[in-house]
């Protein structure tokens, strides 16, 4: 940890930075300047830290991911450097606050959602455990679009995050990537990742083109054919329309080719021969986006003289693959023709790998190249890595028994589970200091090093004073969120209402539309004179991929319901709907600590894990959820009294899909359901929203309902009614909160990373 012997010394360091940058004392700086100065100072301190020592077996990890959703770095890095409290106290003496300064830090949104944020949590834990490992990704100039609401619809705006005070350290390193017909230099920038409780730092390596395109005058339209300049311009949104995404393949090959060269370089620098790759390198492939690292490494090793079979064996020993999805339509396959255009040198290798895979199994379902000459990236990963893992217990079981069964039959020893985790440093210590203080006052601060120690809180479930003050912590966080909503969005909410929160990417399988049906139900109840015990505020946050029409239609419905409730004087005192604009990591850090009821309502079998469910739990929210993803493990850990579960089981759902046994219309005709769906076409809603959009959504819900919202909606309403009734017994609710916090330790990313290391990486 960084030690400044006196607060004075810290002040001197800060003064040196403000003097050099702004010729001012810290006191004379604006909040924006002070933010920049602190960013610069923590960046200097983090960058000065050495890499963790290599372990005795000399292995080093490279975590390859197309996305790293880092979020703001100032507070997190201050914490890792041991400076969070000293800086907070110093600022206080100056009459300033860290929270105010942070408003000026741009958020690097280099990811879509869960997968990208997981990668960021993992880097934090790898550094905190002092493991020798770096991230490898791309330096997108525009992260995920910025969301605006215009006329109750989503509009997308560019999100430039690179500013002079951003976190990139130039490294002077570059590699040449050979594409079909031209070469391109990959320039390496680093972000230093200081390890909490360590004196070392890891690195996030981000590759960029040497001569990036200038920002477009407006919008986010880049010339996707201008690969040399636009390759790193923007991050692809996660949507189901993948056709024609040639630039995406350019991005992927650029990342893995430069990354593979970096790995072989460092291997040589460490004094090891290329034929020892499998012994000295661990590569984790985060979903299929970096899968081309496999053929690329094989190509580079054979070019260095290794026989093909030996190169394959080394790569298989080095690489491991993580699967994050069971949605068949989300599995990446690329036309071989694309790869022939982008990286023709890989085509013969892919054909050889396909031939080799066919010698291992005659089952056409496990082939790499299909009859249409499409390359199944996940298939290549499973054949030519030594480990395939799912991200929650249920997800891994589903992979083994249904989605990837032919592979499991072929390679049972390769399959393993690594239930996701989140970093409690960002997601509890930094975002919820009030709760962190409450915990430490009761069990000491050992939990900040080992989250399993949170279990020591369990005896306090019988301590009335502790329960009372836990409720006060929650009330404090709800008031904090209310203030933020007022200042950022001009919306005033009632901190004494129940905060029911669903924040995640908008996807039909996550079923925000089912939550919207609950709003419609509650609206009708209130109109009929049946009011809830206390007001409810339903908060949503979600971005829809720009090309995902159904998702955008659901946003429209939610925003229309928001207007409906706001403008109806009978309803507004009892039911509010608020959708936060531009939901991102920064919003999450304010929403999660303020949550009472955590909505985790995906169709069972569809959410691989979920990770916000873990963050909510650790912050004392009670889950209302289906038995899906990691919710299953949450339910096991807290027991039935401390979670509200509902809905069809994953077995039932998988069976319905297999038989084609689900008929939305049958469920629509149930008396408790029809009026909810038909409300989409009611005069009240049509007066607010766009008729064509609402009609399209109504039709889809009634006739298709691919993710079975109508199957579960009545059970959902019943479960939410139970949860809201449970909330009214404040002491009993506080016990549920406490139990959730106490049992959340399992979901620390430190635990997850320790398992990756013990069972896959062996660093």
| Binding footprint of ligand 26Q on the chain (CB under 6 A) | 112-115, 118, 236, 238, 242, 245, 248, 324-325, 330, 332, 391, 420, 607-611, 629
Cα separation, 743 vs 452, whole angstroms: 8
Residue 615 known to be catalytic = yes
Residue for token pair 């041991």 = 82
358: CB partners within 8 A, 6+ apart: 367
CB of 111 to ligand 26Q, least distance (A): 8
CB of 284 to ligand 26Q, least distance (A): 12
> Residue 59 or residue 504: which is nearer to ligand 26Q going by CB?
504
> Residue 263 or residue 503: which is nearer to ligand 26Q going by CB?
503
> Residue 119 or residue 575: which is nearer to ligand 26Q going by CB?
119
> Residue 125 or residue 466: which is nearer to ligand 26Q going by CB?
125
Cα 663 off chain centre by:
33
> Residue 52 or residue 610: which is nearer to ligand 26Q going by CB?
610
Residue 153 known to be catalytic = no
Catalytic-labelled residue, pool 611, 623, 693, 752: 611
> Residue 109 or residue 448: which is nearer to ligand 26Q going by CB?
109
DSSP 631: H
Whether the CB-CB separation of 144 and 215 falls below 8 Å is answered with no
Q: Are strands 388-390 and 374-376 parallel, antiparallel or unpaired?
A: unpaired
CB of 511 to ligand 26Q, least distance (A): 13
CB of 635 to ligand 26Q, least distance (A): 16
Phi, psi angles (nearest 5°) of residue 700: -65, -45
CB of 372 to ligand 26Q, least distance (A): 18
Whether the CB-CB separation of 79 and 427 falls below 8 Å is answered with no
Question: What 3 state SS string does 658-711 have?
Answer: HHCCCCHHHHHCCHHHHHHHHHHHCHHHHCCCCHHHHHHHHHHHHHHCCCCHHH
- Strand partners for 155: 148
Catalytic-labelled residue, pool 49, 474, 505, 743: 505
> Residue 537 or residue 748: which is nearer to ligand 26Q going by CB?
748
Cα separation, 476 vs 538, whole angstroms: 18
CB of 117 to ligand 26Q, least distance (A): 8
Catalytic-labelled residue, pool 141, 615, 667, 702: 615
CA distance readout (Å), 66 to 140, 183, 402, 759: 10, 21, 27, 24
Length of the chain, in residues: 763
Question: What 3 state SS string does 152-183 have?
Answer: CEEEEECCECCCCCCCCEEEEEEEEEEECCEE
> Residue 419 or residue 448: which is nearer to ligand 26Q going by CB?
419
User: Residue 589: is it exposed, middle or buried by C-beta count within 10 angstroms (0-12/13-18/19+)?
Assistant: buried
Strand order in the sheet with 597-600: 575-579, 536-541, 498-503, 597-600, 622-626, 644-646
Structural tokens at position 761: 């990486």
CB of 246 to ligand 26Q, least distance (A): 11
> Residue 175 or residue 250: which is nearer to ligand 26Q going by CB?
250
> Residue 324 or residue 474: which is nearer to ligand 26Q going by CB?
324
Residue for token pair 């990691």 = 630
Catalytic-labelled residue, pool 504, 543, 556, 735: 504
Residue 376 known to be catalytic = no
Quick one: how many helices (H) and strands (E) in the chain? Answer: 32, 19
Catalytic-labelled residue, pool 60, 72, 248, 324: 324
Residue 572 known to be catalytic = no
CB of 87 to ligand 26Q, least distance (A): 31
CB of 238 to ligand 26Q, least distance (A): 4
Say whether 387 sits in a helix, a strand or coil.
coil
682-690 long-range contacts, Cβ below 8 Å, gap at least 24? 684/564, 685/560, 685/561, 685/564, 688/152, 688/560, 688/563, 688/564, 689/152, 689/556, 689/557, 689/560, 690/151, 690/152, 690/153, 690/556
> Residue 236 or residue 583: which is nearer to ligand 26Q going by CB?
236
CB of 146 to ligand 26Q, least distance (A): 18
CB of 250 to ligand 26Q, least distance (A): 12
Catalytic-labelled residue, pool 510, 720, 735, 743: 510
Residue 501's nearest CA partner among 395, 588, 381, 379 is 588
Cα separation, 389 vs 759, whole angstroms: 11
Structural tokens at position 384: 């030519």
CB of 505 to ligand 26Q, least distance (A): 7
Whether the CB-CB separation of 134 and 173 falls below 8 Å is answered with no
Residue 736 known to be catalytic = no
Among left, alpha and beta (phi > 0; psi -120 to 50; other), residue 86 is alpha
Residue 208's nearest CA partner among 254, 163, 245, 253 is 254
Q: Which residue is nearest to ligand 26Q (CB)?
A: 114
Q: Are strands 182-194 and 201-209 parallel, antiparallel or unpaired?
A: antiparallel
CB of 209 to ligand 26Q, least distance (A): 19
Residue 611 known to be catalytic = yes
Alpha helices (runs of H) in 501-649, residue ranges in sequence order:
512-527, 549-567, 585-591, 612-618, 631-638
Residue 698's nearest CA partner among 498, 554, 527, 540 is 554
> Residue 296 or residue 607: which is nearer to ligand 26Q going by CB?
607
677: CB partners within 8 A, 6+ apart: 517, 668, 698, 701, 702, 710
> Residue 245 or residue 402: which is nearer to ligand 26Q going by CB?
245
Half-sphere exposure of 122 (CA within 13 A, CB side): 35
9: CB partners within 8 A, 6+ apart: none
Say whether 461 sits in a helix, a strand or coil.
helix
Active-site positions read: 324, 504-505, 510, 611, 615
């Amino acid at each position: 940890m960084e030690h400044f012997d006196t607060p004075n010394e810290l002040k001197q360091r800060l003064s040196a930075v403000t003097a050099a940058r702004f010729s001012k004392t810290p006191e004379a700086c604006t909040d924006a300047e002070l933010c920049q100065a602190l960013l610069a100072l923590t960046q200097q301190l983090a960058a000065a830290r050495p890499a963790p020592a290599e372990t005795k077996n000399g292995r080093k990890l490279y975590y390859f991911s197309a996305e790293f959703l880092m979020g703001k770095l100032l507070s997190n890095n201050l914490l890792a450097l041991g400076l969070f409290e000293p800086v907070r106290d110093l600022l206080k003496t100056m009459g300033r606050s860290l929270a105010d300064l942070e408003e000026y830090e741009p958020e690097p949104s280099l990811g879509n959602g869960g997968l990208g944020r997981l990668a960021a949590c993992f880097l934090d834990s790898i550094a905190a455990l002092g493991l020798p490992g770096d991230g490898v990704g791309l330096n997108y100039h525009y992260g995920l679009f910025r969301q605006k609401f215009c006329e109750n619809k989503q509009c997308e705006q560019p999100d430039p995050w690179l500013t002079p005070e951003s976190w990139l350290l130039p490294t002077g390193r570059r590699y040449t990537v050979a594409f079909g017909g031209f070469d391109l230099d990959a320039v390496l920038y680093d972000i230093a990742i200081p390890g909490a409780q360590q004196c070392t730092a890891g690195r996030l390596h981000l590759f960029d083109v040497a001569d990036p395109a200038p920002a477009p005058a407006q919008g986010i339209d880049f010339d996707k054919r201008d690969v040399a300049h636009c390759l790193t311009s923007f991050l692809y949104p996660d949507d189901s329309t993948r056709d024609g995404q040639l630039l995406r393949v350019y991005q992927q090959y650029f990342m893995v080719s430069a990354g593979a060269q970096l790995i072989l370089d460092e291997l040589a620098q460490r004094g090891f021969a290329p034929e020892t790759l499998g012994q000295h390198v661990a590569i984790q492939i985060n979903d299929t986006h970096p899968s081309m690292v496999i053929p690329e490494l094989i190509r580079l090793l054979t070019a260095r003289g290794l026989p093909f079979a030996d190169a394959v064996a080394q790569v298989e020993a080095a690489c491991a693959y993580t699967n994050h999805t069971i949605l068949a339509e989300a599995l990446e396959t690329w036309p071989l023709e694309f790869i022939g255009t982008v990286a023709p040198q890989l085509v013969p290798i892919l054909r050889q790998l396909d031939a080799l895979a066919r010698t291992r199994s005659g089952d056409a379902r496990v082939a790499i190249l299909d009859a249409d000459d499409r390359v199944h990236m996940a298939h290549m990963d499973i054949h030519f890595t030594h480990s395939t893992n799912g991200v929650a217990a249920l997800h891994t079981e589903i992979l083994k028994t249904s989605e990837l069964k032919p592979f499991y039959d072929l390679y049972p020893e390769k399959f393993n589970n690594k239930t996701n985790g989140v970093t409690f440093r960002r997601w509890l210590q930094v975002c919820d200091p009030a709760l962190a203080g409450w915990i430490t006052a009761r069990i000491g601060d050992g939990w900040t090093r080992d989250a399993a120690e949170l279990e020591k809180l369990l005896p306090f479930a019988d301590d009335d004073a502790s329960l009372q003050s836990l409720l006060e912590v929650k009330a404090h966080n709800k008031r904090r969120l209310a203030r933020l909503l007022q200042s950022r969005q001009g919306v005033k909410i009632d901190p004494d209402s129940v905060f029911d929160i669903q924040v995640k990417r908008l996807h039909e399988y996550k079923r925000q539309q089912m939550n919207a049906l609950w709003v419609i139900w509650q609206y009708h109840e209130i109109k009929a004179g049946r009011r809830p015990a206390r007001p409810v505020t339903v908060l949503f946050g979600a971005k829809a991929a720009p090309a995902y029409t159904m998702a955008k239609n659901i946003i429209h419905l939610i925003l229309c319901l928001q207007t409906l409730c706001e403008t109806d004087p009978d309803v507004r005192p009892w039911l509010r709907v608020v959708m936060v604009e531009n939901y991102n990591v920064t919003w999450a850090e304010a929403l999660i600590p303020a949550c009472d009821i955590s909505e985790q309502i995906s169709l069972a079998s569809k959410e691989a894990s979920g990770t916000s469910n873990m963050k909510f739990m650790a912050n004392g929210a009670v889950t209302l959820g289906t038995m899906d993803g990691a919710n299953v493990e949450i339910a096991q850990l807290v027991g039935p009294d401390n979670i509200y579960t509902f809905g069809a089981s994953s077995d039932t759902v998988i069976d319905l899909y297999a038989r084609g046994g689900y008929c939305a219309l049958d469920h629509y005709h149930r008396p408790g359901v029809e009026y909810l769906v038909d409300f989409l076409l009611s005069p009240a809603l049509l007066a607010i929203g766009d008729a064509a959009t609402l009609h399209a959504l109504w039709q889809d819900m009634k006739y298709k309902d691919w993710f079975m919202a109508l199957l579960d909606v009545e059970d959902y309403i019943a479960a939410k009614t139970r949860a809201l009734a449970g909330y009214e017994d404040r002491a009993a609710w506080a016990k549920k909160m406490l139990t959730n916090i106490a049992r959340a330790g399992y979901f620390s990313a430190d635990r997850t990373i320790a398992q990756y290391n013990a069972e896959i990486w062996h660093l």
